[in-house]
Structure 1
Amino acid sequence: MVTEATPIHTQGAAGGRYCVLVHGGAGNVPLERRALHVEGCLRAARVAAELLGAGGSALDAVERAVRALEDDPLFNAGTGASLNEEGRVEHDASIMEGRTLRAGGVCALSGFRNPVAIARAVLEDGRHVLYAAGGAARFALARGFTSVDEASLVTEAARAALHVAQSGQGPTGWAGGTVGAVAFDATGLRAAATSTGGTLNKRVGRVGDSPLIGAGTYADDEAGAVSTTGHGEAMIRLGVARAVAEHMRAGASPEEAARVEIARTRDRLQATGGVIALDATGRWGLARSTDTMSWAVAGERGELSGY
């Protein structure tokens, strides 16, 4: 059931010379586990902020933050990601930087631990923006990434969630969800990255919004950086990430831009989700229409977190 309440939102002022904001997915994390998800987001934000403080780029920062979340089995990305209808992991991820609008993504990718790193390699290679399934795996191997036993990416929690979904004993959603990060650095570069295992019990080959530039991820130094989470099909149909960026380009605060698009997603398509965003001036904001969306922000002026 989609709530009729106004989406919950949070905002902050400009974050000094650098700032990173991460999310751990829109959903309904049980009360007793919410602090764990917030702590996971805070760890990811801290390692990214440390990189930024040492002079690293926003692009490096969002990749590092998302990799940390992919390696944390609490979240629906990387290790511990949700399983498709055949009990397999199929990862989606993308990354974008706002100065030259370079972007890279992979989708329906199996057998690799950190899909966001492969998406970064796609961005750096520059020939194409998005690789799928076997083509994505071939690209990864050609660029020196090592495949892993798929079983090493599957957790007991993911197996249990799939069993519940397929047996009709409970909800088919994922408590946490997609992970993402947005950042800016001392040079003014904006970047965004998003990674997911996708919808629990999804059909083989299904691709959501996370690897799609303009739907799940968007960055433009003139507007801001955005990562989305939630009902992927709705985010694709409404092009939510790009829409949030365009609101910011027109002068809306990140919180206002996120809130407007999450409300539109709810009102037009009766779908839930969340958005994190940074604008061209360094302000940050987020909105969600789900019970929870764990998040953390870290930068030169300190850190905050919540759900």
Structure 2
Amino acid sequence: MLFSRFFRATLLAALLTSPALLQAQSATPSTAAPDASRITLVIHGGAGTITRALMTPEKEKAYQDALNQALDAGYAVLKKGGTALDAVEASVRFMEDSPLFNAGKGAVFTHDGRNEMDAAIMDGRNLAAGSVAGVTVVRNPIRAARAVMEKSEHVLLTGSGAEQFAREKGLAIVPPSYFYTEARYQQLQQALAEERKPGSPDQLNAPTSPSEKSKVKLKGGKPQSTALPESQIFTEGKKYGTVGAVALDQFGNLAAATSTGGMTNKRYGRVGDAPIIGCGTYADNQSCAVSCTGWGEYFIRATVARDVAARVELLHQPVAEAAQATMDKVGKMGGDGGLIALDRQGNIALPFNSAGMYRAYVKANGERQVQIYK
């Protein structure tokens, strides 16, 4: 009898702590009646040393216009009764197609002169998630991330394997030259020049002349000139150019998506926080949806996106308080950047500890803001 009681108690404890049951408890699709008054969309286009002193009026307008259009792309989905998942994908895809942002078309160059991109997406209804890392020929990495989530049993695919999967699923594949932009090439050349200066932390490992691999060729086989004026380069000092979106749909469900080209001059197949669920991207109907931008190594170590969600869910902190507390932790560690977060009541948080962050949001009541500086 005693053994039987012990067995039943042990079995019950195992069931209550099983991953499947925990996921079922946490992932709760909304059963509420549709309510269009709740729809909300928040986006970001990167954080860093973004100041008025480093921004021309033309560049500022270009970014404001692009952020507004990215908002429109996702909000149109929500207004038509679409899901939060479709909305965040639409906004991120727009930014991936813009050369202004470090994602997709505007991705930065690695040390070897390649564009290696990462992306992730997560559905707050059921904790379903998908991501890709180190892809070089997928036109829209966020589409590949969603395909991983919906059409495979995996969460994260990398490199050539992720590209093969994207091909098999019929996603748009482009030549690596599609991702070339003059501004990003100039950023790489500037980084290589800094790297070669005596006293630079990387000077011992830096080549004595620009690596042949980093010399992007134009049509006709001529090396690209480095004579582009600084005023035409879409870079604002030290900037972490990730893009992302979080949304709340009329059904009360949350979603998050993030996409990035990583860091200029990165080496060795480096992957940041964006495609790592719980670090740069997270969504759960029980708490909030989060997309991050910043120094990825710190955001990974602090599991930033999940940390915000855990504070909301377990400590019952308001989303703005939770997001700020997590960014404070990142700052104390020595990291910088920012994040966007959104809960099921439509409350928004946009904290950052850098000089600026491209950010915008729109609500069903018509409230709309596009901001760049502090």
Residue 305 in structure 1 maps to residue 305 in structure 2 = no
Residue 195 in structure 1 maps to residue 272 in structure 2 = no
8 Å CA contact 2:240–2:293 kept in 1: the answer is: no
Structure showing the higher helix proportion among its residues = 2
Residue 182 of structure 2 aligns to which amino acid in structure 1?
E
TM-score normalised over the length of structure 2: 0.75
Residue 296 of structure 2 aligns to which amino acid in structure 1?
G
Equivalence for 2:279: 215
Equivalence for 1:204: 268
8 Å CA contact 2:253–2:344 kept in 1: the answer is: no
Gaps of 5+ in 1: 1-14
Counterparts of 1:251 and 1:36, CA distance in 2? 39
Counterparts of 2:119 and 2:173, CA distance in 1? 16
Q: Which of the numbers 276, 295, 309 marks the counterpart of 1:231?
A: 295
Spell out the pairing of 1:138-177 with structure 2 (5 A cutoff): 138-168=164-194, 174-175=238-239, 177=241
8 Å CA contact 1:25–1:294 kept in 2: the answer is: yes
Equivalence for 2:86: 60
Spell out the pairing of 1:117-156 with structure 2 (5 A cutoff): 117-156=143-182
Q: Which of the numbers 264, 269, 273 marks the counterpart of 2:329?
A: 264
Identity of aligned residues (%): 43
SS in 1 for 2:338: strand
Distance 1:256 1:39, change over 3 A: farther
SS in 2 for 1:287: coil
SS in 2 for 1:265: helix
Q: Which of the numbers 49, 71, 80 marks the counterpart of 2:97?
A: 71
Residue 211 of structure 1 aligns to which amino acid in structure 2?
P
SS in 1 for 2:350: strand
Q: Which of the numbers 179, 183, 188 marks the counterpart of 2:243?
A: 179
Deviation for aligned residue 1:257: 1.6
Q: Which of the numbers 239, 243, 252 marks the counterpart of 2:317?
A: 252
Residue 98 in structure 1 maps to residue 98 in structure 2 = no
Gaps of 5+ in 2: 1-35, 198-234
Counterparts of 2:257 and 2:319, CA distance in 1? 17
Deviation for aligned residue 1:149: 1.1
Equivalence for 2:345: 281
Residue 137 of structure 2 aligns to which amino acid in structure 1?
G
TM-score normalised over the length of structure 1: 0.91
RMSD: 1.8
8 Å CA contact 2:49–2:236 kept in 1: the answer is: no
Counterparts of 2:71 and 2:317, CA distance in 1? 25
Deviates more, 1:176-185 or 1:191-200: 176-185
Q: Which has the larger radius of gyration?
A: 2
Distance 1:95 1:173, change over 3 A: farther
Q: Which of the numbers 30, 44, 47 marks the counterpart of 2:73?
A: 47
Residue 258 of structure 1 aligns to which amino acid in structure 2?
A
Q: Which of the numbers 45, 55, 64 marks the counterpart of 1:31?
A: 55
Spell out the pairing of 1:102-113 with structure 2 (5 A cutoff): 102-113=128-139
Counterparts of 2:179 and 2:363, CA distance in 1? 31
8 Å CA contact 2:240–2:294 kept in 1: the answer is: no
Structure showing the higher strand proportion among its residues = 1
- Superposed structure 1 runs of 4+ greater than 3 Å apart: 169-176
Deviation for aligned residue 1:41: 1.7
Counterparts of 1:218 and 1:291, CA distance in 2? 24
Equivalence for 1:12: none
